[in-house]
């Protein structure tokens, strides 16, 4: 399985899943290494975890998820893609993060209510040269994440991704818009 796994390859249920384009862009921004230790906070269906685990073959992915349905789906996707380096962590960020091994990479798919506490814990535990990637669909997350990392002297880049997708309508081709997603990437320097 090569990077950029299509959405339909995953077991999905009713849990919201990062769309394939946003997933591969986010993973690309994470600049994974073969042995990276990765936190996937708010793992949802586990699609980012699976894709990251396949790339960081000799590393390990901690999939943090609070909902039972999500946890079930992550386990199904682990089985489906036959990955052995994902550890499912049931619980809520930031509390559940404290006992995990320090990560090289952190992905936050959806910043929950305790966004700032999660960011704070993330920054505390992130290793040197570590990278954090956050996906945001709200102005609040885009602004707050970007600003928080900047104030903490991280090198920050935010991209806003607007994608529309073709749909055949008779013999013509319409373009259907997806909602914009902000991808915030913060890199710890030095």
Stretch that binds its own copies, among 21-29, 41-49, 67-75, 117-125 (CB under 8 A): 21-29
Give the residue, chosen from 14, 58, 82, 139, that forms a contact with its own copies under the rule CB under 8 A: 139
Residue of 7, 12, 13, 21 interacting with its own copies (CB under 8 A): 21
* Chosen residue from 8, 34, 68, 99 binding its own copies by CB under 8 A: 34
**Sheet bearing 86-90, strands edge to edge:** 86-90, 60-65, 37-41, 105-108, 131-136, 181-187
Cis peptide leading into residue 94 (ω within 30°): yes
Q: Is 80 in the site for its own copies (CB under 8 A)?
A: no
Stretch that binds its own copies, among 67-75, 79-87, 120-128, 144-152 (CB under 8 A): 144-152
**Separation between Cα atoms, residue 3 and residue 22, nearest integer Å:** 13
Q: How far apart are CA 129 and CA 137, in angstroms?
A: 27
Span near its own copies by CB under 8 A; candidates 39-47, 63-71, 123-131, 160-168? 160-168
Those residues whose C-beta lies under 8 Å from the C-beta of residue 24, and which sit 6 or more positions away, are 3, 4, 51
Using alpha carbons only, how large is the chain's radius of gyration in Å? 16
Chain residues that interact with its own copies, rule: CB under 8 A:
2-4, 6, 20-21, 24-25, 27-34, 55-56, 137-144, 146-147, 150, 156-166, 168-169, 171-180
């Amino acid at each position: 399985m090569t990077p950029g796994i299509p959405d339909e390859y995953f077991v999905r249920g009713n849990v919201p899943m990062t769309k394939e384009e946003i997933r591969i862009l986010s993973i690309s921004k994470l600049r994974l290494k073969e042995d990276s230790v990765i936190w996937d906070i708010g793992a949802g269906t586990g699609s980012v975890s699976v894709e990251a685990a396949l790339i960081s073959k000799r590393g390990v992915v901690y999939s943090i998820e609070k909902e039972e349905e999500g946890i079930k789906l992550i386990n199904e996707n682990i089985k489906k893609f036959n990955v052995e380096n994902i550890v499912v962590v049931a619980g809520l960020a930031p509390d559940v993060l404290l006992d995990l091994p320090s990560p090289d990479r952190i992905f936050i798919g959806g910043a929950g209510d305790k966004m700032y506490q999660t960011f704070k814990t993330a920054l505390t535990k992130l290793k040197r040269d570590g990278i954090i990637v956050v996906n945001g669909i709200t102005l609040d997350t885009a602004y707050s994440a970007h600003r928080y990392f900047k104030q903490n002297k991280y090198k920050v880049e935010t991209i806003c991704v607007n994608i529309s997708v073709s749909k055949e309508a008779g013999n013509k081709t319409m373009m259907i818009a997806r909602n914009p997603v902000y991808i915030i990437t913060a890199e710890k320097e030095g």
